[in-house]
Amino acid sequence: MKRKISLVLMLALLLVGCGNGAKDEQEAFVGTYPADFISIAPLADVSANTKMVLRNMHEGIYKYKTDGSLEPGVAEKIDITSEDPFIVFDIVLKDNVKFHNGKDLTSEDVKYSYERLAGMIDGITPEMVAGSGYFHQILNGEDEGFNKGKIEIIDDTHLKVYCDNSYGVLTTMHTLADGLLVPSDYSEDEQSTHPVGVGPYEFIEYDEGDHITMQAFEDYYGNVPNVKNMEFRKYADASTLPIAFENGEIDSISLNNENYDRIKEEGYEISEGLSNDVRVLYMNQREGELFSNKDLRYAVNYAIDKEKMLNSISNGRGAILYSHLTPVLKDYYNGDLKDFFTYDIEKSKEYLAKAGYENGLDVVIKTVAENEMEQDMVALMIEDLAKVGINAKNDPIPWNTYYEEVYKGFNYDMAILNVVGYPDPSRVLSRYESTAKGNMPGLKSEEFDRILKEAQETVDQNEAALKYKELQKILTEEAVGVFTIDPGISTATSKKYTGYESYPFAFVDISLIERK
């Protein structure tokens, strides 16, 4: 059933240009997204396609720079101290921060926002805040091995947040950066139909299956965006995007091999870099599953030609990956794993026979139907696997179904997933902890769990980096999946605009763009 959620601007029709809600008549910047959002409420959806759009409406006490580093957001001042077993964040808020509904941001709102994400508010289930990261661990205290944190309100703009110190300062800072702030007196039902935050853009309308619109928030505490109106439209068929871009129907496009050279030659401004996302062919290694056989997982890894994939998908732009971290996080990235799994058909056949499948086998690879790149990738994988005797079949299913059945339910043998990148290596790698909800392959490794905890608790980041490199080595040795490529990001924008920059995680930041 189709939903339509809209902001009725009747006053704006009478009072054009006067106050909040009066829509600027400037032409809208038009972007795209491929699949419907599971929810538009803050941090209710883990999908990269959702986060890249909705981040425009929200911020926290920290905000990200385009290189992934942090700077103060709504906080005027943040002092960090240690009071074992806690890391204490002494936060003073800026005094000119407003929510989109006109309410002033107070310490009570920050407290509510963090407790909302930590599962400490009655009626708010974990599913309602599926993208909440580590908040449950650092504040709730219900998870084994974690201490219950607390939040002390000093006054309306001053508070102290006591976070369990198990993850260390860096990861906890990144967790708070992802702690999107919401009004304490605004319900989840309201957030799911008309989200309210403190970001540079405010919500106007969401027409499920069609578009979402926002406008610049004129009372934003920072610099009000130059682009006053934006609209993201759903384009489920990526093949239609180049024509739409060149016809002026949309103002940005992620380029691929088929259109990169032509678009570049036509003089469009192109922003390039790595995405920091990891495309993984996961193999379900839980007890009793087909790929609990490690030799079979090795056979698949040796069968996939990653160089051919990178050339085919992005003409060599981007990077081949060897574990679950990309070169974007250069201080933590383990480049020594390059030669662990090479493309080797004969070795793949040897491991296939060792696994007991010398005559081959049939497998199904589940993919997200709306993800055009995944469909191109799986076609190449099927071709490679056939050369060693593995008859693979693609099963494309809608994201909403994939999320429930595959991502959450682990109902699969093989599945491709684009795993969203983060600037924090702990956040990236902790998905493979034995008890992690997002542990797609079902890895159970006491060694991995121990080293992860050591890395998180290590203050010296050079020492921590060595431990994160050890973790990547374990993932590769265990062959939890085939870590394929980071195809890079090449984004072209309309000739009407300039200034677009990419982030090392899912975020299309319209506030950086300016009209020429």
Render each residue's pLDDT in the chain as its tens digit; 516 residues: 344 444 333 333 333 334 444 556 789 999 999 989 999 999 998 888 899 999 999 999 999 999 888 999 999 999 999 999 999 999 999 999 999 999 999 999 999 999 999 999 999 998 899 888 889 999 998 888 899 999 999 999 999 999 999 888 889 999 999 999 999 999 999 999 999 999 999 999 999 999 999 999 999 999 999 999 999 999 988 889 999 999 999 999 999 888 899 999 999 999 998 988 999 999 999 999 999 999 999 999 999 999 999 999 988 899 999 999 999 998 999 999 999 999 999 999 999 999 999 999 999 999 999 998 999 999 999 999 999 999 999 999 999 999 999 999 999 999 999 998 888 899 899 999 999 988 999 999 999 999 999 998 887 888 999 999 999 999 999 999 999 999 988 999 999 999 999 988 889 999 999 999
Residue 354 CA to its chain's centroid (Å):
38
Question: Cα separation of 174 and 53, whole Å?
Answer: 20
Residue 379 CA to its chain's centroid (Å):
25
**Residue among 173, 50, 42 at smallest CA distance from 116:** 42
Estimate the crossing angle of helix 294-303 against helix 372-386, to 10 degrees: 100
Instruction: Name the 3-class secondary structure at 39.
Output: coil
Residue 13 CA to its chain's centroid (Å):
38
Hey, how many other C-beta atoms are within 10 angstroms of the C-beta on 29?
Answer: 25
| Cα dihedral sign, 243-248-252-257 | positive
Hey, how many other C-beta atoms are within 10 angstroms of the C-beta on 189?
Answer: 9
Contact 182, 111 (CB under 8 A): no
- Strand 361-368 to strand 414-419: parallel, antiparallel, or no bridges (unpaired)? parallel
One-letter identity of residue 228: K
- List phi, psi (to 5°) of 124: -105, 110
Question: Cα separation of 363 and 349, whole Å?
Answer: 16
- Strand 481-483 to strand 278-283: parallel, antiparallel, or no bridges (unpaired)? antiparallel
Question: Cα separation of 278 and 481, whole Å?
Answer: 11
- List phi, psi (to 5°) of 321: -110, 150
Question: Cα separation of 474 and 467, whole Å?
Answer: 11
DSSP assignment letter at 294? H
One-letter identity of residue 400: N
**Residue among 409, 442, 419 at smallest CA distance from 294:** 442
**Residue among 134, 159, 161 at smallest CA distance from 146:** 134
One-letter identity of residue 7: L
Q: Which residue has the tokens 């696997």?
A: 385
DSSP assignment letter at 100? T
Residues 6+ apart with CB under 8 A from 466: none
One-letter identity of residue 252: S
Question: Cα separation of 248 and 496, whole Å?
Answer: 10
Residue 110 CA to its chain's centroid (Å):
23
End-to-end CA distance of the chain: 41
Residue 122 CA to its chain's centroid (Å):
27
Alpha-carbon distance values, 463 to 226, 466, 473 (Å): 43, 5, 16
Hey, how many other C-beta atoms are within 10 angstroms of the C-beta on 13?
Answer: 10
Q: Which residue has the tokens 């005094």?
A: 95
DSSP assignment letter at 139? I
Token pair of 45 as six digits: 């959806």
Question: Cα separation of 273 and 181, whole Å?
Answer: 29
Residues 6+ apart with CB under 8 A from 269: 492, 493, 495, 497, 498, 500
Question: Cα separation of 267 and 92, whole Å?
Answer: 46
Question: Cα separation of 47 and 38, whole Å?
Answer: 8
On whether the pTM is more than 0.85, the answer is: no
Question: Cα separation of 428 and 421, whole Å?
Answer: 7
- Strand 86-93 to strand 75-83: parallel, antiparallel, or no bridges (unpaired)? antiparallel
Instruction: Name the 3-class secondary structure at 104.
Output: strand
Question: Cα separation of 341 and 209, whole Å?
Answer: 41
| Cα dihedral sign, 503-471-364-311 | positive
Give the pLDDT confidence score for residue 421 in this predicted structure: 84
